[in-house]
Amino acid sequence: MKKLFKTLLVGAMAASLLSGCSSSSSKKKVGIIQMMDHTSLNTIKSAFDDEMNKLGYTDKNVEYTFKNGQGDNNTLASIANDFQGKDFDVVVAIATPAAQAAARLANKTPVIFSAVSDPVGAKLTASLTKPNKNITGTSDEVQVDQIMEKALQVQPNMKKIGLLYNKGEANSGTNIANIKKYLASKNIQVEEATVVGVNEVQSAVDTLASKCDAIFSPNDNTVASAMSIAGQRAMKAGIPYYVGADSMVKDGGFMTVGIDYEELGRETARMTDQVLKGKSVSSLPVKVFKTNLNIYVNKKALSTLKVTLPDSIKNDKKYIEI
C-alpha cells in the first residue's frame, strides 16, 4: 500500500508539474515598444490595453513585455535588439520611430504598428492594402487639407503660416510636404522652424508667432511632448496654433480635424488579436482613418484668442470642445 501511495503521489506531482508547464507555454507573448511619453501615445497604449482585456486577454493567457524608448532612437534600437532574443508571438510598435526600430524583427515575428502617418514612406510596407513585410497596423495620417480648410474658415485673410516640426521624424516630413502643396495652391506664404529636441520648441514658437498669422505642427512627437508650453506661448502671442492630433489640442493647441486616438489604440488591439489567432499579416490592410473625422477645438485657446468660429464649424455635428 505504501508503495502504491508513493507511486500515486509521484504521478500526481508529475501531472501537476506538466499542467503548470502547459499553462505557461500556452500563454501568448506580446512585446510592446512605445517611442516616448506624451498624451497621444499614452492614450493609444491605454486604449490598446483596455481593448485587449475586453477581447479576453488577461494575465492568465498573455504575457506582455513593455518598453519605452524615451524619445531616443538609440534606445529604440537597443530595445529591438533585446526583443530579437525573445520568442514573441507579435510585437506592437507605437509611433513611426518605434515601428522602424521593430521592423528588423519582422523576419520572424509579426509586427503591428500604431500611429504611423506614412507607412510606405517609412519603408514599413510597399502597399497599404497588401502589406508585404510581415508588418501592418493603424495609420494616423494627418488630413492636412481638411485642417487647413477649417483654418481658412477661421482666418480667411491668412497670409503667412509658421510650420514647426522635427525634420528627423519621417512622419512629420511627409505631412509638411503635403501641407506645403496645399498652402502653395492658396498662395499662402510659409515660414519654417525645425527642432531636434523639446527644449527648442518654446523659442521656435516665439519666433514664428512674431512673423506669422498662425502656426501649424503635424502629429510630431517632439513638438507634442512640449505642446503644453508651446500652446501657452502661442496663446500669449494671440496666434492660433493648428495641430495634427486631438491630444495636441487637449495639451494647448487651438484646433485640428482628426481621429480619436483612443479608437486608433483599440483598432491596433483588434488587429493584434487577429494575428494572435493565426491570421496572416499580409491579409490585414493598414487601417487609415480618413473620413468621419472630428473637429477638435481647445476651449481655453478659443476664449483666450477671442476667436469667433463660423457657423460651418461650431454647428458641425462632429465639433468637440476640449
- Left if phi > 0, otherwise alpha if psi is -120 to 50, otherwise beta: which for 134? left
- Left if phi > 0, otherwise alpha if psi is -120 to 50, otherwise beta: which for 95? left
The answer to whether 48 and 269 are in contact (CB under 8 A) is yes
pLDDT average per 10 residues of sequence, the chain (322 residues): 48 47 71 96 97 97 98 97 96 97 97 96 96 97 96 98 95 94 98 97 98 97 97 98 96 96 97 98 95 95 95 96 96
Q: In the chain, what is the straight-line distance between the N-terminal and C-terminal CA atoms, in Å?
A: 75
- 295 vs 38: CA distance, rounded Å: 21
Q: Say what the pLDDT of residue 25 is.
A: 59
Contacts of 3 (CB under 8 A, 6+ apart): none
- 83 vs 80: CA distance, rounded Å: 5
Q: Say what the pLDDT of residue 10 is.
A: 47
- 100 vs 73: CA distance, rounded Å: 10
The answer to whether 262 and 270 are in contact (CB under 8 A) is no
